[in-house]
Amino acid sequence: MHTIPHIAILGLGEAGRCFAHDLIAMGIKVSGWDPSPNRALLPANLQVAASNADAAKDADIIFSVNLSAVAEEVAKEVLPVLDASKLYCELNTASPNKKIAVSAMLQPSGVQFVDMAIMAPVPPKGIKTPFLVSGPGANALISRLAAYSLNITYLSETVGDASTRKLLRSIVYKGIAAVICEAMEAGKAFQLEGYIREQINSVIGGNDALIDRFIEGSVTHAARRIDEMEAVSAMLLHHQIEPLLSKAAQHNLEKLLKQKLNN
C-alpha cells in the first residue's frame, strides 16, 4: 500500500491550478500559495496557505510553478522549511544555469532537487501532461508518484538536462508560432487569408485547426512565453550562439501581449 503524498504548489496560475485540481481529484493532499490567486477558479479542497514557506512546510513534494524571474526568490523563501525528506521540483521554464543556481541555493537543506520540464500546454491534459525530469531527486519523484500513472520521463541525475531539452523544443515551437502569426496578420492585411493558409498548410500538413491553435496559444500565453524565450536566449548566449530567431519570436509575443492589453 502506497503512502498518499502531500504536494505543495507554489504558483496558482493556469498550470498550477490545473495541477492542483487534478491531484486533489486523485485523492492527494494539496496546499498552495500565490501572491494574487484567482480564488474563484481554485479547487474547493485546496489548502490555501499564507505564504510559499507555509505551503511547503508540511509537504512531501514541492512544485514551484512560477515565472523564471522569481525562481530564486521563491527558493530562498522556502529554504528554511526544507529538509532531506522533501522533493523540490523546479517546473519554471528557466535556463539550465538558473536551475543549477536554484539547486545550489537549496543544497544546504539536503532537499532532493528535481529539474522538471513541462513538455506541452497544460490544458487539456493537466497533471497528465508529459514531463521530463532530471536531477538527484528525479528517480525518487517517479517512485513516489508511481501509483498515479503520470507521464514522467526520467533523463539523468544532472540538473539542467530536462530544462535544456525543454528550451531546445521551445526554439522550434515558438519560432513556428511566430512565423504563423506574422503570416496570418499579413494575409489578412492583403485580404489573402485563404491563400496564406494554403501556404502554411503546405508546410504543417493541412491542418487549419493547428494554425488557429498556434495563434490563440501565442496570444493567451504571451506573458509566460516571453519569459520562456528569454530563458532560451540566455541558454544560447551561454553557448556563444546568437539567438536571432528566438529573439524575433520573443518580440512577436511582446507585440501580441501589448495588443491584448490594449484591447
> What's the CATH number where 181 sits?
1.10.1040.10
Cell of 79: 529554504
Residue 106 in any domain: the answer is: yes
CATH number of the domain enclosing 107:
3.40.50.720
The reply to whether 50 and 148 lie within a common domain is yes
Domain shared by 195 and 247, yes or no: yes
Which pLDDT score is estimated for 1?
53
Is 129 a member of any domain? yes
Q: What's at 157, amino acid-wise? A: E
> Where a domain ends, among 102, 132, 157?
157
Burial class (CB in 10 A: 0-12, 13-18, 19+), 11: buried
Same-domain status, 145 and 183: no
Domain hosting residue 47, numbered range? 6-157
- Check whether residue 111 and residue 168 sit in a common domain: no
- The label of the residue with cell 501532461 reads 129
Flag residues of the chain having pLDDT under 50. none
Both 144 and 176 in one domain: the answer is: no
* pLDDT tens string 111-135: 999 999 999 989 889 999 999 999 9
Which residues on adjacent β-strands are paired with residue 63?
9, 89
In this structure, the answer to whether residues 189 and 235 fall within a common structural domain is: yes
Q: Are 174 and 247 found together in one domain? A: yes
Domain count of the fold of the chain: 2
**Burial class (CB within 10 angstroms; exposed 0-12, middle 13-18, buried 19+) of 44:** exposed
Using CA atoms, how far residue 84 sits from 29, 81, 95, 197, 217, in Å, is 20, 11, 25, 54, 39
Beta-sheet pairing, 61-64 with 87-90: parallel
Q: Is residue 241 part of a domain?
A: yes
Asked if residue 29 belongs to a domain, the reply is yes
Mark whether 102 and 168 lie in a shared domain.
Answer: no
Please name which of 103, 58, 98, 47 lies closest in space to residue 82, comparing C-alpha atoms: 58
Please indicate, yes or no, if residue 1 is contained in any of the structural domains.
no
Average pLDDT of the chain to the nearest whole number: 95
Q: Considering Cα of 154, then 24, then 73, then 172, what sign does the dihedral take? A: positive
State which of 129, 157, 185 marks the end of a domain. Answer: 157
Assigned domain for 251 exists = yes
49 and 131 share a domain? yes
Last residue of a domain, one of 93, 128, 157: 157
Are 150 and 106 members of one domain?
yes
Same domain? 169 vs 255? yes
pLDDT given for residue 67 in this prediction: 86
Nearest Cα neighbor of 163 from 230, 127, 116, 106 is 116
Are residues 168 and 248 both part of a single domain?
Answer: yes
| DSSP symbols for 173-238 | HHHHHHHHHHHHHHHHHTT-HHHHHHHHHHHHTS-HHHHHHHHHHHHHTHHHHHHHHHHHHHHHHH
22 belongs to a structural domain = yes
Is the preceding peptide bond at 130 cis, omega within 30 degrees of 0? Answer: no
